[in-house]
Structure 1
Amino acid sequence: MITKRTFGRLAIAAAAATLFTSAMAADVTVAYITNGNTNEGWTLINGGAKKAGQAKGVKFIELAADKGELSRQLAIVEDMITRKVNAIAIAPVDSAGIAPAINKALAAGIAVVAVDTGITGSKITSYVATDNIKAANVQGKWAAGEIKDGDTVIYVTGDQGQSTGQERKKGFVDALNAGRKNVKIVEVATTWDQTMAQNGVEAALRANPNAKVIACAWDGGALGAKAALMAAGKKPGDVKIAGFDGSPGGLDMMKQGWQQANAAQMLAKIGQVGVETAIAAAQGKKVEARIDTGSFLVLPANVDKFAADSGVGQFMKVKAK
């Protein structure tokens, strides 16, 4: 016979079991798949992602495409589908090339959030990144203000197989051409490789010794441009450099007088918000399809404040005075 006391114990046990089951159900597995880049900017982005992945009730898996290889990243996505993760946050190596695997993940009910770089040919859950065109517009407008009509500008691209590289180039070129007439733009093509940037700028300077500005799609390119200028015997400020990222190395260049402007991203925020969005989607919450993590034009007059406010200052070698 079930007494009131026994019934009470059973009720308590049932309630505890329900709570335990609910707690288990609340746990989600989120995979963060980065692109294999190891520069300063990606160190900050990945750090922000890892911080978000420490949230309670989240199993966080962090993986990288070896040497930025698409085949490796495709294999990782396939493995995450097999492991039935709840969400994937990914910085794609190739915006179009990754789409088939991403579509397969979406079809399997896995939420997918693109981090920093978009995905073409796939209707992903969310895209978390800087508005690259908007930020590059500001960079291009600044460059237009530093030159005269008919002057020469060297532009160091990022990988044109990725939406990030495409958008930054478009934003810069559109704003520069809107601000100045008959500008000669000498393009140095890279795949986010600093050595490629240095070699390309060295060649561009030999062919165009009167170039006034070197604008770069990322700060690694700006560091390559600095090395090229030094090899040419130039001094800080002889040719103005505009960077893009707001990375520690880029801001150090500014403190040293080598860089005059930077279209700075909120780097750690990109990774953190990207993974937070993936977690929310995994938990069944509604998320925005496009999240702009913001940008800021850094100049010598405000570099110290930006470094302090963004957290980048702790990684810089040239400290604020």
Structure 2
Amino acid sequence: MSIHRTLGRLAAVMFTAGLLMSAAQAQTIAYITNGNTNEGWTLINGGAKDAAKKAGVKFIELAAEKGELSKQLAIVEDMITRKVNAIAIAPVDSAGIAPAINKAMAAGIHVVAVDTGITGAKITSYVATDNIKAANVQGSWAADQVADGDTVIYVTGDQGQSTGRERRDGFLQGLNAKRKNVKVVDVPTTWDQTMAQNGVEAALRTNPNAKVIACAWDGGALGAKAAMLSAGLKAGSVKIAGFDGSPGGLDMMKDGWQQANAAQMLAKIGAVGVETAIAAANGKKVDARIDTGSFLVLPSNVDQFAKDSGVGQFMKKK
């Protein structure tokens, strides 16, 4: 092959790569969060930003102030008007957001649900932990800590969201598969740590012999710890199982206040959510459901998980 032909082919490849890069950079991706600002969401949002920066797309990040559905609906409507190429969204309300999402999809805007699913709308993709699978493992662990007739306190997430429902359902499935004769006391919350603390305080007063407090997220576990301290209980006297693998949750474990954690790959959820939105906007086929994985963290492997997941950089320094 002549040097001229070689250079010509190289130039063609570089030209094509340039076109692809320009196409990616021309895409506008809206990332709409649910307004949560806890540690877990800090990591998810950080992953989303990093993915957008790496891809070189125009990235619009907006949040539903105070977690209000009406404000998230208004944001989606605005993104439709601005004709973004794709929306990655963590819905405040799985069903309530559906009308706006249907409108976005009808306008040709790809929609990727991040962390929490959407019901009543056909979306491009759903990127999240398999919450039922992860919660199943959490429930199975809890079953190993109790005997028939014992009491388990369960701190729920928002039952208006698929995430909250799936984590509760998965936990109960895992628990009942091993222990059918266990009393489960629900502490309802809307992902609010203060609600968790107040609810666990009340549950401990009426169920002083509870053996395990399982939580749908690590903020609930932090609330459970505060409730135990308020009741004069020591670390480990009632076992706490968290969910998320957040820095605060793993710090609790290092300090003896948490004995198990159904950990998500938090930064990966945000990163894959945005990567999927970008891919769809560029006309690539994406999977309808993407599981970003989970891992049961115990005191015996917490240090390794913190290192491998990147969470360790945000934990307390010993």
TM bin, normalised by shorter chain, reads over 0.9
- Indicate the residue corresponding to 1:118 in structure 2: 117
Distance 1:60 1:160 in 2: 31
Distance 1:234 1:245 in 2: 24
| Structure 2 portions without partners, runs of 5+ | 1-14
- Indicate the residue corresponding to 2:136 in structure 1: 137
Distance 1:243 1:20 in 2: 47
Q: How does 1:239-250 map to 2 (within 5 A)?
A: 239-250=238-249
Decide whether the 8 Å contact of 1:36 with 1:67 is kept in 2. Answer: yes
Structure with max Cα Rg = 1
- Indicate the residue corresponding to 2:217 in structure 1: 218
- Indicate the residue corresponding to 2:228 in structure 1: 229
SS in structure 1 at match of 2:152: strand
Percent of residue pairs identical = 83
Distance 2:146 2:100 in 1: 45
Tell me by how many angstroms 1:50 deviates: 0.5
Distance 1:38 1:306 in 2: 23
Tell me by how many angstroms 1:181 deviates: 2.6
Tell me by how many angstroms 1:165 deviates: 0.1
- Alpha-carbon deviations, 1:118-148, whole Å to 9, x = none? 0000110000000000000000000000000
Tell me by how many angstroms 1:53 deviates: 1.1
Does residue 1:43 correspond to 2:58, yes or no? no
Alignment root-mean-square deviation, CA: 1.6
Paired residues, number: 304
Distance 2:102 2:168 in 1: 28
Does residue 1:186 correspond to 2:182, yes or no? no
SS in structure 2 at match of 1:55: helix
Tell me by how many angstroms 1:174 deviates: 1.1
- Indicate the residue corresponding to 2:176 in structure 1: 177
- Alpha-carbon deviations, 1:87-117, whole Å to 9, x = none? 0000000000000000000000000000000
Tell me by how many angstroms 1:178 deviates: 1.3
Decide whether the 8 Å contact of 2:94 with 2:117 is kept in 1. Answer: yes
Q: How does 1:221-300 map to 2 (within 5 A)?
A: 221-300=220-299
Distance 1:169 1:56 in 2: 36
- Alpha-carbon deviations, 1:127-185, whole Å to 9, x = none? 00000000000000000000001100000000000000000000001111111131000
Tell me by how many angstroms 1:55 deviates: 3.1
Distance 1:96 1:273 in 2: 23
Residues 154, 105 of structure 1: alpha-carbon distance in 2 compared, 3 angstrom cutoff: same
Q: Scaled by the length of structure 2, what TM-score is found? A: 0.93
- Indicate the residue corresponding to 1:14 in structure 2: none
Distance 1:300 1:110 in 2: 44
- Alpha-carbon deviations, 1:65-108, whole Å to 9, x = none? 00000000000000000000000000000000000000000000
Matched residue type, 1:279: I
Decide whether the 8 Å contact of 1:45 with 1:267 is kept in 2. Answer: yes
Residues 23, 235 of structure 1: alpha-carbon distance in 2 compared, 3 angstrom cutoff: closer
- Indicate the residue corresponding to 2:54 in structure 1: 55
- Alpha-carbon deviations, 1:237-262, whole Å to 9, x = none? 00000000000000000000000000
SS in structure 1 at match of 2:53: coil
Q: Scaled by the length of structure 1, what TM-score is found? A: 0.92
Residues 200, 25 of structure 1: alpha-carbon distance in 2 compared, 3 angstrom cutoff: same
